[in-house]
């Protein structure tokens, strides 16, 4: 994580982007390190949110244009993870995308949104809102 933190805002953007894809990474740690080094909290939250949302768009695109073979065999998103995400969509509708920031289920949620061809502006609004709130809460907790 210190590798990303060493690049400041750009490093945070990269960490947040990668963390929103299927690769395991904690952008929250990078955000915390940069906050503790005195970088602008508002700018950090904006950069982290932008990177994380763009990473979620990658997942959406994979779901939209990809096949289930690609998702299961290449990305290694299990049947059970996909089933949980699909179940949330059926139970809570597209509003479940507000929780795309959650570990384990967040990435499959954004993939399922692509598979189901969720309206793109709605996807953007819900995913951005959830991720923005998460980074704001983390920043407030670190700076408290």
Tally of domains within the chain: 1
Angstrom distances, CA of residue 22 to CA of 8, 33, 38, 136, 140: 23, 23, 30, 23, 27
- Name the phi and psi angles at 138, rounded to 5: -60, -45
Residue 47's domain comprises 2-143
Spatial CB neighbours of 74, under 8 Å, sequence gap ≥ 6: none
The CB density around residue 127, as the number of other CB atoms within 10 Å, is 29
DSSP-derived secondary structure for 83-103? HHHHHHHHHHGGGGGGGTTST
pLDDT > 70 fraction of the chain, expressed in percent and rounded: 91
Q: What is the dihedral of CA 143, 20, 48, 61, to 10 degrees?
A: -160
The confidence score (pLDDT) of residue 61 equals: 92
At 129, the pLDDT band (50, 70, 90 cuts) reads very high
Token code pair at residue 53 = 């949302």
Note the pLDDT tens digit of each residue in 7-50.
999 999 999 999 998 777 889 999 999 999 999 999 999 999 99
Note the pLDDT tens digit of each residue in 35-90.
999 999 999 999 999 999 999 999 999 888 876 666 666 666 777 877 777 777 77
At 108, the pLDDT band (50, 70, 90 cuts) reads confident
73 by Cβ neighbours in 10 Å (0-12 / 13-18 / 19+) ranks as exposed
Token code pair at residue 13 = 């953007």
The confidence score (pLDDT) of residue 9 equals: 97
């Amino acid at each position: 994580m210190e590798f990303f933190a060493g690049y400041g805002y750009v490093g945070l953007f990269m960490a947040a982007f990668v963390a929103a894809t299927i690769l395991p990474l904690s952008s929250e740690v990078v955000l915390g390190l940069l906050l503790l080094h005195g970088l602008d909290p508002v700018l950090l939250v904006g950069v982290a949110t932008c990177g994380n949302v763009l990473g979620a768009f990658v997942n959406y695109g994979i779901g939209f244009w990809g096949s289930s073979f690609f998702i299961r065999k290449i990305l290694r998103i299990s049947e059970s993870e996909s089933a949980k995400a699909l179940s949330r969509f059926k139970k809570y509708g597209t509003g479940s995308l507000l929780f795309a920031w959650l570990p384990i289920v967040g990435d499959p949620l954004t993939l399922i949104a692509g598979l189901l061809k969720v309206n793109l502006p709605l996807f953007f609004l819900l995913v951005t809102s959830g991720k923005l709130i998460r980074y704001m809460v983390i920043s407030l907790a670190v700076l408290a």
